[in-house]
A and B are shown apart, each in its own frame.
Chain A
């Protein structure tokens, strides 16, 4: 069981906006910044969001992140078919003295 809790699945139709939640604790999200990754099956994770809400160069502004208290969210607007994949949140956890990942959310574009 992951230290960060994500819904196992999410879905939406093309053009729709969806959000994926990530719930942690005071020793993790409550203290440290959150990063988000997208992973297409069979490939390496790709950084989508860092420092809670910053997008790396090349990531479309359809992707946005936010954090409040001990939870964080990833929003994807204008959903596209190639957004399908697994999404992971990640942060540092003081109680474990290490990085922790969420259990992942499988996004399906209907």
Chain B
């Protein structure tokens, strides 16, 4: 059974660094077909993608938050860590991690890759307040 679990502080002060950990089970972070993403959702608002990392350590970040975000993984611990520096009250949100799966399809005679986030953690709520 595949599970992901987010952990981190409940409250963070403005300008501090937020560090979140996603602990996975049921799959390996070294599996070339998979990766992990972080997504957040401010109260009452839509989902916002933050970052992703794959087994080969390939990383991508939200353009709007790229300067503040760092994603890393520890395969031996089955953990993916996200740090967000210089937090602000607008960073108050529920933070989710999700497994990314890669598939291969075919259309009009050629192959293509597609990606989707199939299993999500329950999320961890973070409040930025002094």
A: which residues have CB within 8 A of B? 2, 32-33, 35, 37, 39, 43-47, 50-51, 56, 88, 90, 92, 96-104
Contact = CB atoms under 8 A, between A and B. Distances in A.
Given A47-B118, A51-B103, A99 B49 contact: yes
Interface stretch (B14-22, B72-80, B119-127): B119-127
B96 A44 contact: yes
B27 interface: no
B116 A47 contact: yes
Interface in B95-118: 96, 98, 103, 105, 114-118
Given A32-B114, A47-B118, A51-B105, A98 B60 contact: yes
B47 A98 contact: no
B114 A102 contact: no
B interface majority secondary structure: strand
Contacts of A2: 46
3 pairs of A and B residues whose beta carbons are closest in the complex: A99-B49, A50-B116, A44-B120
B96 A45 contact: yes
B63 interface: yes
Contact of B116 (A44, A51, A98): A51
B63 A50 contact: no
B101 to A, nearest CB: 8
A101 B115 contact: no
